[in-house]
Amino acid sequence: MTDSRLSVERADSRRIMLAHTLRKAPIFSGIRADALETLALGCSLRQVDKGGYLFHAGTAADGFFVVHAGAINVHRVTEDGREQVIRVFYPGESLGEVVIAGNHAYPASAKATENSQVILVPTEFFRARIKADPDLALCILASMSQHLRFLVETIEDLKLKQAESRVAQWLLRQLRSAGQDPDGVSAFDLPLAKHLLASQLGITSETLSRVFARLRAAELLAVEGKHLRFPDTAGLQAFLERAEA
Amino acid sequence: MTDSRLSVERADSRRIMLAHTLRKAPIFSGIRADALETLALGCSLRQVDKGGYLFHAGTAADGFFVVHAGAINVHRVTEDGREQVIRVFYPGESLGEVVIAGNHAYPASAKATENSQVILVPTEFFRARIKADPDLALCILASMSQHLRFLVETIEDLKLKQAESRVAQWLLRQLRSAGQDPDGVSAFDLPLAKHLLASQLGITSETLSRVFARLRAAELLAVEGKHLRFPDTAGLQAFLERAEA
DNA sequence: TCGAATGGTTGACCGGGGTCAAGAAACCAG
DNA sequence: CTGGTTTCTTGACCCCGGTCAACCATTCGA
């Protein structure tokens, strides 16, 4: 029965791969390795091509997701078709945990902005796992807290700050999370298309272009395609503090 | 030892009162009565005068709160002093659950907009209770999911809808949640000052005034101080659908 | 190799809503 | 009633940023 042996091996390596990805996800950082492997047994890997949807706002919930590769754009769409990006998720990050509580649908839509792989953690399966291991509930709680903080800050920014501040702030945050020295010359590559960044910041791509142009004129930024260099991060910081408000 | 007996009786009646309020809070709707009374033992009632703060953004977390009476305004303040209301909470609603996960501070500030009483559920105590009764974690999860949905919708509204739509939408929601027949003549009293409502909707009080004036001109609304009457709710609904975008 | 599609930049225009300022109205305490 | 707050309304003005449109720069499939 070579066939059956083969499929067992495949299932096994798949489980190990899933568990490996789950372990790298911050949401499960507090979970023991064996518990994670058990969890991985109920999960599945989904391939989503660029532009493909993981789910639509208002549709029934399969479960929540952990990004394995690629990038997932979570957004709302109005009746007349305009989009507001809520946030873009990258490998290791989790989204849609909101469906674990209650039988509600997703509050937003999610689509891949590049070819992606995501791990689906099915709602019912995960709920059952929570009963066995209540720590899992705390994982979700912690992750949702993070999301909540992010959303609260976003709301403040959207109404209380202008386009320039939001862009400068975002740039400085990226610099920091890229681990660069905050007061030296540094640079990074944009992880998403500019029009998506614009939407996430609540502005149009035209406005983003103009802000970049102004920062370039002030010699605080150099743009080469997706590659951004910052000749004067301290100056950018000062610019932000001046523009703040 | 009349003194001690008295204090026991006081503590007893206080516990019963707290448990009673907690039972009415949607967040604990799934919890058994005896478990709630145990929970009430670790909680305390706080009086907050109008204008007084429950907590400030960034400060260490005591725990989360359930509103017993009054109204609590959760908001963010920028460095230059401007405020953005995130949401106003009324009796039965809970806020600050975000501090249950992790040792982080509150993401926003909360102050009473009228003399209020709130129940404090201390972080450490509640965490201990979760271990004894994991269902409590699910309560928090459900409540945070609600908040998350609310925030996501707020973000969409702030960027994608105009002042008129937001006001009309808010009015119609209030009408519905006031349990009024949605297609008859109806009315309600504003539960908060107009400038607060304006801030929650992400506009200035001047703009709110102007929107009210326009609705009045269209004979969709009559304003008498805090009392709002709606001679034509169907018309208001139509107005919203027209203005949506 | 050449369109066609996609993404980005720039300019001209304009409108929603913010700001400032002056009243009006409501709400007190004396 | 009266003077002082606080809250709300209305008008005049103007600026940020959205929209529309033209124009590059890349990428990609045929």
Is A179 found in the same domain as A129?
no
Span of A17-26, A128-137, B9-18 with lowest mean pLDDT: B9-18
Is A215 found in the same domain as A140?
no
Query: How many angstroms separate the CA atoms of A191 and B245, rounded?
Result: 30
In chain B, residues with a C-beta closer than 8 Å to the C-beta of A126 are none
Q: Does A142 touch chain B (CB under 8 A)?
A: yes
Is B122 found in the same domain as B84?
yes
Query: Of A124, A145, A166, which marks where a domain is finished?
Result: A145
- A with B: how many residue pairs have Cβ under 8 Å apart? 131
- Judge whether A49 lies within some domain: yes
Would you call B191 exposed, middle or buried from its count of C-beta atoms within 10 A (0-12, 13-18, 19+)? middle
Q: Does B234 touch chain A (CB under 8 A)?
A: no
How many domains does chain A fold into?
2
Say yes or no for a CB contact (<8 Å) between A148 and B144. yes
Cβ count within 10 A of residue A87:
19
Query: How many angstroms separate the CA atoms of A1 and A173, rounded?
Result: 56
Q: Does A131 touch chain B (CB under 8 A)?
A: yes
Is A46 found in the same domain as A26?
yes
Query: Of A108, A125, A145, which marks where a domain is finished?
Result: A145
- Judge whether B150 lies within some domain: no
Residue B1 pLDDT: 47
Residue A16 pLDDT: 81
Is B185 found in the same domain as B91?
no
- Judge whether B215 lies within some domain: yes
Is B220 found in the same domain as B184?
yes
Residue B184 pLDDT: 57
Residue A181 has pLDDT above 70, yes or no: no
Nucleotide D25: nearest residue by CA–C1'?
Answer: A225
Confidence of residue A142 (pLDDT cuts 50, 70, 90): very high
Is B208 found in the same domain as B108?
no
- Judge whether B126 lies within some domain: yes
CATH code of A132's domain:
2.60.120.10
Q: Which nucleotide is nearest to B207 (CA to C1')?
A: C17
Tell me: the pLDDT tens digits for A48-72? Answer: 998 899 999 999 999 999 999 999 9
Is A133 found in the same domain as A25?
yes
Is A192 found in the same domain as A169?
yes
CA atom of B163 to C1′ atom of C16, Å: 9
Distance from CA of A34 to the nearest CA of B (A): 21
Q: Which of residues 26-45 of B touch A (CB under 8 A)?
A: none
Say yes or no for a CB contact (<8 Å) between B144 and A142. no
Strand D nearby residues, CB < 7 A? A 82, 162-164, 202-204, 206-207; B 193-195, 205-206, 208-210, 212-213, 223, 226
Q: Does B84 touch chain A (CB under 8 A)?
A: yes
Per-residue pLDDT of chain B (245 residues; tens, 9 = 90+): 445 555 555 666 777 888 888 998 999 988 998 899 899 999 999 999 988 999 999 999 999 999 999 999 999 988 777 888 999 999 999 999 999 988 779 999 999 988 899 999 999 999 999 988 888 999 999 999 999 999 999 999 998 899 999 999 999 999 888 765 555 568 899 989 999 999 999 999 999 999 999 999 999 999 998 999 998 889 999 989 887 75
Is B186 found in the same domain as B69?
no
Is A235 found in the same domain as A121?
no
Residue A3 pLDDT: 54
Residue A159 pLDDT: 86
Residue B140 pLDDT: 92
- Judge whether A118 lies within some domain: yes
Residue B182 pLDDT: 52
In chain A, residues with a C-beta closer than 8 Å to the C-beta of B107 are 148-149, 152-153
In chain B, residues with a C-beta closer than 8 Å to the C-beta of A107 are 148-149, 152-153
Distance from CA of A12 to the nearest CA of B (A): 31
Contact present, A121 and A61 (Cβ < 8 Å): no
- B151 → chain A, closest CA residue: A151
Is A238 found in the same domain as A126?
no
Tell me: the pLDDT tens digits for A105-114? Answer: 999 999 998 8
* Nucleotides of strand C under 7 angstroms from a protein beta carbon: 7-12, 16-21, 26-27
- Judge whether A22 lies within some domain: yes
CATH code of A205's domain:
1.10.10.10
* Nucleotides of strand D under 7 angstroms from a protein beta carbon: 7-12, 16-21
- Strand C, CB < 7 A, residues 155-194 of B: 162-164
Q: Which residue from B221, B142, A53 is spatially nearest to B210, judged by alpha carbons?
A: B221
Contact present, B25 and B95 (Cβ < 8 Å): no
Query: Of B145, B177, B193, which marks where a domain is finished?
Result: B145
Residue A1 pLDDT: 46
Q: Which nucleotide is nearest to A201 (CA to C1')?
A: D17
Query: How many angstroms separate the CA atoms of B114 and B70, rounded?
Result: 6
Domain span at residue A169 reads 155-244
Residue A116 has pLDDT above 80, yes or no: yes
